[in-house]
Amino acid sequence: MTRPVVRVVGSVNLDIVARAPALPRPGETVIGASLERHPGGKGANQALALARLGTDVRLWARTGDDAFADEALALLKAEGVDLSEVVRLADAHTGVALIGVDPDGENQILVASGANARMRPEDLPTEIPEALLCQLECPLEVVAEAVRRARGLVALNLAPFALLPSECLQRADLLVLNEIEAEALGDQVAQAGGAVAITLGAEGACMLRGGRQTARVRPPAVRVVDTTGAGDVFTAALLVSLQEGLDDPGALRFACAAAALSATRPGAQPACPTRREVEALLSGDAT
């Protein structure tokens, strides 16, 4: 079977993670944390997840010309993601995400976008023939223009949430958002042109088409370590399964299992599962 190809237009960050006894309240200092560094950024996370699930991936992105870029791109390079359209900018720093994680796996994230904010619509390929996947950690005008230039399947993950032009939502074959983002989108959820997947945290996810629910799935029971990047894995896994022709319930089961598995491990990109691992979890053979 021919491997699907997806072009990801999105962010690249280096995640600096502090695991703490508790997440701080406003004005509070929490000590006793441990420190980790992982490749991250929603675009890069989803690109890596796609690659590990069996997809050929091209990433269109911007980083600084610095040591952080080497770290941020290391796993993508190791997994064979096409990085020929990742440009290093001499006058910007690589994006950085400062992440706090508590013992239950909940997180707080603060992003310094750096080079991600320097993406420009005019720098996009004239035409995007492959399937396209975008998120919203880069300028919205870049996402909107990428959708206009897309000739194949279009998937949009509306995170972190922002309002896109209505024509983008109508053009998208797949929208992925969480409960809070769906509430913010309001009536436009029903006006979306394709499938809409809404993640429900520990309750799993549901799928809508034309405003009507076509599937709802609970995730496998797992021990949660870190939820950072779980939504990115869900998005990638759902796109892969729909490209391969699974029906809505089957696609949601696959995506929920992949996301649940990623939450059992620390970090965003290091936690991305392989297809074999997801299939083992679904079959009950996971160890």
Beta-bridge mates of residue 224:
none
Contact 22, 29 (CB under 8 A): no
Residue 232 has pLDDT above 90, yes or no: yes
Catalytic entry in 15, 66, 226, 232:
232
Whether 232 is catalytic: yes
Q: Residues 5-19: what's their mean pLDDT? A: 95
Dump pLDDT digits (tens) for 20-44: 999 999 999 999 999 999 999 999 9
Q: E strand or H helix at 89, and its extent? A: strand 82-89
- Cross-sheet strand order for the sheet of 174-178: 82-89, 56-64, 5-9, 131-134, 154-157, 174-178, 195-199, 205-209, 212-217
Dump pLDDT digits (tens) for 49-69: 999 999 999 999 999 999 999
Taking the domains of the chain in order of start, what are their residue ranges?
5-11+40-93+116-283
Round to whole Å and give the CA distance between 47 and 54.
11
Dump pLDDT digits (tens) for 129-146: 999 999 999 999 999 999
Dump pLDDT digits (tens) for 255-267: 999 999 999 998 8
pLDDT at residue number 52: 97
Where is pLDDT greater, at 282 or 228? 282
Give me 143's structure tokens. 């996402």
Round to whole Å and give the CA distance between 278 and 286.
8
Round to whole Å and give the CA distance between 224 and 195.
28
| CATH number given to 5-11+40-93+116-283 | 3.40.1190.20
